[in-house]
Structure 1
Amino acid sequence: MRHTDTSDQRPPRKRAVVTGATSGIGAAIARRLATEGVDVDLVSHSQRRLERSAARIRDSAPDAELRLRRADLSSLADTAKLAERLTQPTPPDIVISNAACTVDPAETTPEGITRMLAVNHLAPYLLLRSLVRPLGDRPARFVVVGADPGTLARLPVDLDDLQLTRDRHRGPFPSLRPALGYGRTKNMNAMFVYAFAARLHGTAITVNGAHPGVIRDTGLGRNDRGLLRLLGRTMGLFPMPGPDTGADTPSWLATSPNVAGVTGRFHVRRREVPTAPHTTDVARCDRLWEESARLVGLPPKL
């Protein structure tokens, strides 16, 4: 009897990109995908942290295929270069935009962009948009890691102040201002998901948002000061799940057949949930899309 070699008939391995992949939830997402047999591109601004993260992943998945992608997501120029590199040799099947920061709203980048706006919103906007044309007709899943929609309902995006200049002066406690700016940029994430999904209608690309939960050891509070640091330490006295729990919903959205074709939705604990009306209003989402295009130097139309 002649035996047929079926090794070449196996489906090709998926390739995922995870930003902020060297700590917290991002590292847990990357490790989870790698253990499931997905090739993973790890994105971080630090080569040293990339190498350490890759070593930890290989402890769990010795055969993991990993690429280390050093990029500063606070820089629009660096983000654009990253998008170009990610298309070689072919664009990824999955992109999970997880990188985020909480810093003083007054902190700006050399390009004159508020750092939180650049990292938390404009980087995923530019990166994911830049991959659409190279993907063409290929299917892909984009996942944007957001934050708690209930808490964020009280922090609508000020469309006349995307650079968070007013948050630099809001409230009597300067140490709490980073939380205000962070919340608004996370609402931008949800609005971006809805606007992007509408513009991708009819394509094989899906885009969804996810709240990972209130998770310990994310590294987001490393720059906290004053009352914000005290609040973080107080929360740390209570039991909270770790990064592996936070990785669950974003990873599930990226790989599960149960959500194949689902797009333009926001999920918490694998369940679709509504977000605040100010994030779903089409006119507001369109305006954010257009202002973001202007800031990153892209045309509004895909």
Structure 2
Amino acid sequence: MKIDLSNKLAIVSGSTAGIGLAIARGLAQAGAEVVVNGRTQARVDEALATIHAEFPDARLRGFAADLGTVEGVAKLTVAIPAADILVNNLGIFEAKGFFDIGDDEWQRFFDVNVMSAVRLSRYYAPKMVERGWGRVLFLSSESGLQIPVEMVHYGMTKTALLAVSRGLAETLAGTGVTVNAVLPGPTRSEGVSDFFGGLAQQQGVPVEQLENDFVAQHRPSSLIKRLATVEEVANMVVYLASQQASATTGASVRVDGGVVRSIA
């Protein structure tokens, strides 16, 4: 199977690092013109350089703005008035006990993780419908199905994205626009690597040991018994963005290493 997105324009929110950067890289490798987004121009330029270093012919655009805000989304829609593929990847996470999470933090997580995706989808999806083809993707998480006690607010937003994704898929039935959610499990992203790297340095143990211990203690149902790579998650997103995935919509597709104990 050869995925060819050479005639498509893709927007990937929050794509200067981690899973978002891997998705942008994968879409670019498949031939799409990709809009790389981050909050600062410096981070965007760094991401563009990273992708160009691997794929010199990649067609890329950089857009610096905080898409977790109304103003940031408004700026993007003016600069990029239409897209074929929208990947709602932007998200934040933080380990914090339920009783320590204040109202402002609940609101901030909802605004960044959920409302950014709602606003972008509300603008771009109707334009896809007009052209009779499009792909809208939401990066949820296995934490949306199995809420982690150490970050209930994060899990709540990922559950909300599943509802938005299914609801939008129902709304766009028969239009040629598919809508799906992707649920990564524990993944070796930049933020996770930095977290484990810091702990490893403090404790004087190898990073690999800490990662393995985390999976064993906190995700014991994992069938791969390791963290996923960002490329493994990105591969699923690129497939769902393709013509080959035209019969897949309204789905919640897991790339969680089997963490969620379910046969469906």
Matched residue type, 1:131: Y
Are 2:125 and 1:132 equivalent residues in the alignment? yes
Aligned partner of 1:262 among 243, 248, 252: 248
Give CA deviations for 1:185-219 in whole Å, capped at 9, x if unaligned: 00001000111111112322111001133211242
Are 2:176 and 1:182 equivalent residues in the alignment? no
Q: 2:220 corresponds to which residue? A: none
Kindly tell me: are residues 34 and 267 of structure 1, through their superposed partners in 2, closer, same or farther at Cα, counting changes over 3 Å? same
TM-score by length of 1: 0.67
Kindly tell me: are residues 235 and 251 of structure 1, through their superposed partners in 2, closer, same or farther at Cα, counting changes over 3 Å? farther
Matched residue type, 2:102: A
Q: 2:223 corresponds to which residue? A: none
How many Å separate the matches in 2 of 1:30 and 1:47?
16
Q: 2:78 corresponds to which residue? A: 84
Q: 2:163 corresponds to which residue? A: 191
Aligned partner of 2:107 among 114, 121, 133: 114
Unaligned runs of 5+ in 2: 214-225
Kindly tell me: are residues 223 and 198 of structure 1, through their superposed partners in 2, closer, same or farther at Cα, counting changes over 3 Å? same
How many Å separate the matches in 2 of 1:11 and 1:38?
5
Q: 2:141 corresponds to which residue? A: 147
For this pair of structures, how many residues does the alignment match?
Answer: 230
How many Å separate the matches in 1 of 2:159 and 2:41?
30
**Structure 1 residue 47: Cα displacement:** 0.9
Aligned partner of 1:29 among 14, 18, 23: 23
How many Å separate the matches in 2 of 1:235 and 1:220?
11
Alignment of 1:93-108 (within 5 A): 93-103=84-94, 105-106=101-102, 108=104
Q: 1:4 corresponds to which residue? A: none
The 8 Å contact of residues 102 and 221 in structure 1, kept in 2 or not, is answered as: no
**Structure 1 residue 135: Cα displacement:** 3.2
**Structure 1 residue 143: Cα displacement:** 0.8
Q: 1:240 corresponds to which residue? A: 227
Kindly tell me: are residues 119 and 31 of structure 1, through their superposed partners in 2, closer, same or farther at Cα, counting changes over 3 Å? same
Q: 1:203 corresponds to which residue? A: 175
Kindly tell me: are residues 240 and 133 of structure 1, through their superposed partners in 2, closer, same or farther at Cα, counting changes over 3 Å? closer
Are 2:116 and 1:123 equivalent residues in the alignment? yes
Kindly tell me: are residues 275 and 130 of structure 1, through their superposed partners in 2, closer, same or farther at Cα, counting changes over 3 Å? farther
How many Å separate the matches in 1 of 2:243 and 2:254?
15
How many Å separate the matches in 2 of 1:203 and 1:68?
30
The 8 Å contact of residues 11 and 36 in structure 2, kept in 1 or not, is answered as: yes
Kindly tell me: are residues 72 and 220 of structure 1, through their superposed partners in 2, closer, same or farther at Cα, counting changes over 3 Å? farther
Identity of aligned residues (%): 27
**Structure 1 residue 260: Cα displacement:** 0.8
Kindly tell me: are residues 63 and 221 of structure 1, through their superposed partners in 2, closer, same or farther at Cα, counting changes over 3 Å? closer
The 8 Å contact of residues 102 and 223 in structure 1, kept in 2 or not, is answered as: no
Q: After the TM superposition, which segments of 4 or more aligned residues of structure 1 sit over 6 Å from their partners?
A: 221-224
Q: Secondary structure at 2:241's aligned position in 1?
A: helix
How many Å separate the matches in 2 of 1:269 and 1:193?
17
Higher Cα Rg, which structure: 1
**Structure 1 residue 249: Cα displacement:** 1.2
Kindly tell me: are residues 38 and 11 of structure 1, through their superposed partners in 2, closer, same or farther at Cα, counting changes over 3 Å? closer
The 8 Å contact of residues 137 and 204 in structure 1, kept in 2 or not, is answered as: no
Kindly tell me: are residues 17 and 107 of structure 1, through their superposed partners in 2, closer, same or farther at Cα, counting changes over 3 Å? farther
Q: Secondary structure at 2:179's aligned position in 1?
A: strand
